[in-house]
Chains A and B, each alone.
Chain A
């Protein structure tokens, strides 16, 4: 019977069709649906942990996590229910209109939580928390917030926290960084992010169709980030910051013996919390400010050092036996080099090396520089660590630049004349340094001839939660003769102690200071003011470098130094 055969065939075909459809679903599409099924039942409940603290050398907290309360709303539709608006408006004391605007600005999809308000005061958070049963679609989210005890004061050392950007996310994805993670930017927060960063824990749970817990599949404990202790002394940091305030420039204080960075300030500075809130209206002015408040002048700024550089030329001269302690040059106020007159800022008459440093006599150093030649000056500048990064644990450090006759000829296609050597001898003529490099250079005369490597980290918390000191001794003995160090030291002491010394304004403090000023001419604007020195002279504990961008002259830098030392004395730090 044909008809029955047709029916039979149709039925068989139907079964095969179903079988193929099921094969397609269960075998071919299995991976995709397996994922969906897992996503249905498995939830990861993240367990945040706090970021490691940053402490100063005395254990004072400079940065630590605190709790912050955010108001989350899970909208059911584009419509913001009136009942919620009126209740929230009362608690937050924000107008209903403003809340509505915020809502419609942040709304994306139904049931996607939106952040209605950030960093609520505790009382408001509690008040809203108590409404939980009336307003089930509202939640208070507790998130860690970075708090900087000294605020702007440490901004250039510590950096700030902000949401991870696309570039960093791409680089760091493998290390478990996720979209919307907070990550350190600039300063210690960035360089040591991998130590400070907590290891987020989580609980993997199985839930049913209503999101109720069915069982726990696994737990990974959260681990707080490790603490870091800096070599920075918060008291001194505060002092230098306050005295630098409202002047563009930077102050660096280091320990000449082991290179510990005791304080570092750069002005203008910034409020690190601005970036955590992520509001463009607060961030953009910082980015567009012509004074570049985010720019750390102490390590990233490159400036001509002016007369401060003379100590290097002096050292080279004595080391290379071009002069002795009694060799003199006569300053008549100017010196003709080639067919150009090079002037001195005064008329010093006959001067030996000590006096030339004391009075910062240009003519003496023109003569000395010319007899050394650019090659040796360059060599000694490099010996003192110029033209290269100091290697401090901060990002964006600049190298500076030490002119080199051959290099100038090849690269810049210009000839090197004796006049260039004269200029270089007094720290001008294309020579560029960072304030930190100058502090490091000065430390050589404070510690008896060692070039230290500035360090910022004193200790890092280890697995057993103890602060473990970092072992380091990376200073290099420059092997200068005793005479060299002694002669330059005499000059540095004289510059402060002698009544005619360039830094004599520092002479009558309760502590003996030695140092060198510098006034660096720049193309336009006032000269940069420098002072680099150390104290107490008998047993140097601090090297200080004060740099004032367009500050006028070294005198002003000395005055800032004076105030800083006065306050340090008052605080009994010395």
Chain B
């Protein structure tokens, strides 16, 4: 194992263990018996993720180029299965039952979209370049947009506006890194801006509510604004040193909802304070820098697009999640990578990191 790989592995394990510790703290006093032991499940997922990580890092990433459309088709199939046979939890139908665990295909779709777009905008092999800059609007934007729209619509229907929007953001980011004619990208952004009133019309009431509450949490302090207010209280009352592990009153006494999933950052910040938070941000920053370094030095265009997509997907999720917990972004259901409770999410991150190692290996050799 090279020095780079070792460093990444350590980073991943460190952040994930912080996640397990935080999940332990915010669920061990839960009123529901079954929730008290989910830190063990998370640990199991972590082990599984690590195996996937090692496994996929052995595979030459060009195999992904070959299989991209198959993955895409599988991803769509899973999403359709969710739509027809999925489990409904918390008002959303996002999971399918696989053997003894619940699987969330939309998490996997995040990675598949990256692989698919990297495949679409590149040719495999060193020195082979797709000259995307010369492509017309149809080929550069509309066709991939059609491909992306299918899973986005399926995910929106679950409903999971956060993930759907997120995938759309990945698409925009990939347009940018794939060097699609900049005029096209600009015109799309303009189009979105013009069409946004229409989107408002399509939003469900609770989604509109969330956006309103983002603008001013105090419009509904006991309803939709409650979470964001409690999250801010949790984070800010942590102060410099935090209240200590297992001693965060906001999470321990359940004032903070979703304290082990979407709002796990608030639990962490409450108990570990500004020092802990600074350390966590630093770890994330190292992780991103590592991924971007791989992207910069990738041996071919496909590898570069793949690594860039993975880096941006991490960055966007980290930013939106943390910004949401401190009231700088609307509340959308995006997990904090490696920290939030969730098996599918964790395994998918480890898979993408495995892909990264595979690219890194080609660099070394």
A residues within 8 Å of B by Cβ? 1, 3-4, 7-8, 11-12, 14-15, 18-19, 21-23, 25-27, 29-30, 32-34, 36-37, 40-41, 206-210, 214
Tell whether, in the assembled complex, residue A40 and residue B232 are in contact, meaning their CB atoms are under 8 Å apart: no
| Chain B interface extent, by class | 35 or more
* Complex contact A25–B236 (CB within 8 A): yes
Interface residues of B in 249-283 (CB under 8 A from A): 249-250, 253-255, 269, 273-274, 277-278, 281
Counting from the closest, the 5 A-B pairs by CB-CB distance are: A33-B236, A37-B237, A208-B253, A26-B274, A25-B236
B299 within 8 A of A: no
Q: Of the candidates A19, A26, A40, which one forms a contact with B249 in the assembled complex, judged by CB atoms under 8 Å apart?
A: A40
Contact in complex: A4, B315 (CB < 8 Å): no
Judge if B135 is at the interface, Cβ distance under 8 Å.
no
Interface residues of B in 279-321 (CB under 8 A from A): 281, 284-285, 288-289, 292, 295-296, 308, 312, 315, 319
**Docked pose: A40 CA to B231 CA in angstroms:** 12
Contacts of A23 in B (CB 8 A): 274
Check B269–A26 contact: CB distance below 8 A.
Answer: yes
Known: A1-B296, A7-B292. A208 touches B254 (CB 8 A): yes
Contact check, B315 vs A37: say whether CB atoms are below 8 A apart. no
Contact A22 B254 (CB under 8 A): no
Identify the closest chain A residue to B238 (Cβ): A26
Q: Do residues B326 and A22 form an inter-chain contact, with CB atoms below 8 A?
A: yes
Other A-B contacts than A27-B240, A41-B250, 7 sampled, CB-CB below 8 A, are A22-B322, A25-B236, A26-B235, A33-B235, A36-B233, A208-B255, A214-B253
Q: Which residues of chain B come closer than 8 Å to A22, judged between CB atoms?
A: 235, 269, 274, 277-278, 281, 322, 326
Contact A209–B254 (Cβ < 8 Å): yes
Looking at chain B's contact residues, the main secondary structure is helix
* Chain B residues, CB < 8 A from A7: 177, 292, 308, 312
- Report A42 CB to chain B, min CB distance, Å: 9
Which residues of B in the span 88-147 have a Cβ within 8 Å of any Cβ on A? none
Q: Check A27 against B253 for contact (C-beta < 8 Å).
A: no
B287 to chain A, nearest CB (A): 11
In whole angstroms, what is the CA distance A21 to B322 when docked? 10
Determine the residue in chain A with the shortest Cβ distance to B274: A26
Q: Does B159 contact A (CB under 8 A)?
A: no
Q: Which residue of chain B is the closest to A34 with respect to CB atoms?
A: B237
Task: Determine how close the nearest CB of chain A comes to the CB of B32; give it in whole angstroms.
Answer: 13
Query: Complex formed: what's the CA distance from A472 to B171 in Å?
Result: 94
Report A-chain residues with C-beta under 8 Å of the C-beta of B319. Answer: 14, 18
What are 28 A-to-B residue pairs whose CB atoms are below 8 Å? Answer: A3-B179, A7-B177, A8-B289, A12-B285, A18-B326, A21-B326, A25-B236, A26-B236, A26-B240, A26-B273, A27-B239, A27-B240, A27-B274, A30-B240, A33-B233, A33-B235, A33-B236, A34-B236, A37-B233, A37-B234, A37-B237, A40-B255, A41-B249, A206-B253, A208-B253, A208-B255, A210-B254, A214-B253
Which residue on chain A has the smallest CB distance to residue B285? A15
Given the complex of chains A and B, what is the CA–CA distance between A27 and B278 in angstroms? 12
Docked Cα-Cα span, A177 to B137, in Å, equals 76
- B292 contacts across to A, CB distance below 8 A: 4, 7-8, 11
Q: Which residue of A lies closest to B273 (CB)?
A: A26
Contact A11–B296 (Cβ < 8 Å): no
CB of B328 within 8 A of chain A?
Answer: yes
CB pair B277–A26 under 8 Å, yes or no, is: yes
Instruction: Give the chain B neighbours of A208 by CB distance below 8 A.
Output: 253-255
> What residues on B are CB-neighbors of A21 within 8 Å?
323, 326, 328
- A438–B249 CA distance with the chains assembled, in angstroms: 68
Looking at the assembled complex, report how far the CB atom of A434 sits from the nearest CB atom of chain B, in whole angstroms: 60
Contacts of B309-365 to chain A: CB distance below 8 A = 312, 315, 319, 322-323, 326, 328
- In the bound assembly, the distance between CA atoms of A37 and B255 in angstroms comes to 9
Closest residue of chain A to B239, judged by CB?
A30
Chain B positions within 8 Å of A18 at CB level: 281, 319, 322-323, 326
The A-contacting residues of B in range 166-180, CB under 8 angstroms, are: 177, 179
Provide the residues of chain B in CB contact with A27, threshold 8 Å: 239-240, 274
Known: A22-B277, A37-B234. A11 touches B288 (CB 8 A): yes
> Which of A18, A19, A22, A33 has the most chain B CB atoms closer than 10 A to its own CB?
A22
- Assembly CA distance A18 to B250 (angstroms): 21
Q: How far is the CA of A27 from the CA of B235 in the complex (A)?
A: 10
CB-defined contacts of B240 to chain A, threshold 8 Å: 26-27, 30
- For the complex formed, measure the closest distance between the CB of B332 and the CB atoms of chain A, giving whole angstroms: 17
Identify the closest chain A residue to B328 (Cβ).
A21
**CA of A531 to CA of B255, assembled, Å:** 74
Nearest Cβ distance between residue A205 and chain B, in whole angstroms?
11
Contact with A along B219-247 (1 / 0, CB 8 A): 00000000000101111111110000000
In the complex, what residues of B have CB within 8 A of residue A29's CB?
Answer: 236
Distance (whole angstroms) from the CB of B227 to the closest CB of chain A: 12
Known: A4-B295, A25-B232, A37-B250. A30 touches B237 (CB 8 A): yes
Given the known inter-chain contacts A26-B273, A208-B254, A209-B255, please indicate yes or no for A37 contacting B249, CB distance below 8 A.
yes
- Asked whether A33 lies within 8 Å of B237 as measured between CB atoms, the reply is yes
Residues of B within 8 A of A11 (CB): 285, 288, 292, 315
**Residues of chain A with a CB closer than 8 A to B230's CB:** 40
Closest residue of B by beta carbon distance from A14: B319
- Closest residue on chain A to residue B284 by CB atoms: A15
Bound-state Cα–Cα, A4 to B307, Å: 12
Minimal beta-carbon separation of A27 from chain B (angstroms): 6
Q: Report the minimum CB–CB distance from A270 to chain B (whole Å).
A: 46
Q: How far is the CA of A33 from the CA of B273 in the complex (A)?
A: 13
- Is the CB–CB distance between B315 and A14 below 8 Å? yes
Which residue of chain A lies nearest to B323 when distances are taken between CB atoms in the complex? Answer: A18
The residue in chain B whose Cβ has the minimal distance to the Cβ of A35 is B237
Q: Which residues of A contact B273 (CB under 8 A)?
A: 26
Smallest Cβ distance from B105 to chain A, in angstroms?
A: 28
How many angstroms between the C-alpha atoms of A40 and B285 in the bound complex? Answer: 34
Q: Which of A1, A34, A207 contacts B253 (CB 8 A)?
A: A207
Q: Tell whether A209 pairs with B326 under 8 Å between CB atoms, given A26-B269, A34-B239.
A: no
Q: How far is the CA of A37 from the CA of B235 in the complex (A)?
A: 10
A19 to B284, CA, bound (A): 12
Given A15-B285, A40-B250, are A33 and B255 also a contact pair (CB < 8 Å)?
no
Min CB gap A38→B, angstroms: 8
Separation in Å of the A379 CB from the closest CB of chain B? 73
- State the CA gap A32–B237 with chains docked (Å): 8
- Cross-chain contact A26 with B295 (CB below 8 angstroms): no
- List the A side residues contacting B237 at CB < 8 Å: 30, 33-34, 36-37
Task: Give the one of B179, B253, B289 with max A CB within 10 A.
Answer: B253
Complex CA distance for A26 and B254, rounded to whole angstroms:
20
Chain A residues contacting B179 (CB-CB under 8 Å) are 3
* Complex: chain B residue closest to A210, CB-CB: B254
> Quick one: which of A7, A14, A23 has the most chain B CB within 10 A?
A7
B265, chain A: closest CB distance, angstroms: 10
Chain A nearest CB from B269 CB (Å) reads 7
Q: Please give me the residue from chain A that is nearest to B322 by CB atom.
A: A18
CB distance from B49 to the nearest CB of A (A): 24
Docked CA distance A214–B253 (Å): 8
Q: List B contacts of A40 (CB < 8 A).
A: 230, 233, 249-250, 253, 255
**Most interface-central of B237, B249, B250, B281 (chain A CB within 10 A):** B237
CA distance A31 to B236 in the complex (A): 9
Return chain B residues, CB-CB under 8 Å to A206: 249, 253
What's the nearest-Cβ distance from chain A to residue B324, in Å?
A: 11
A19 shortest CB reach to chain B, Å: 6
Give the docked Cα–Cα distance between A23 and B278 (Å).
9
Measured CA separation A18–B320 after assembly (Å): 10
- In the assembled complex, the Cα of A33 lies from the Cα of B230 at a distance in Å of 10
**A26 and B281 contact, CB distance less than 8 A:** no
Interchain CA distance A1-B292 in the complex, whole Å? 12
**A26-B239 in contact (CB<8A):** yes
Could you tell me the distance between the alpha carbons of A570 and B311 in the complex, rounded to whole angstroms?
105
Q: Would you give the shortest CB distance from A36 to chain B, in whole angstroms?
A: 5
Min CB–CB distance A11 → chain B (angstroms):
6
- Name the residue in A1, A12, A19, A207 with the highest tally of chain B Cβ atoms < 10 Å from its Cβ: A19
CB neighbours (8 Å) of B323 from chain A are 18, 21
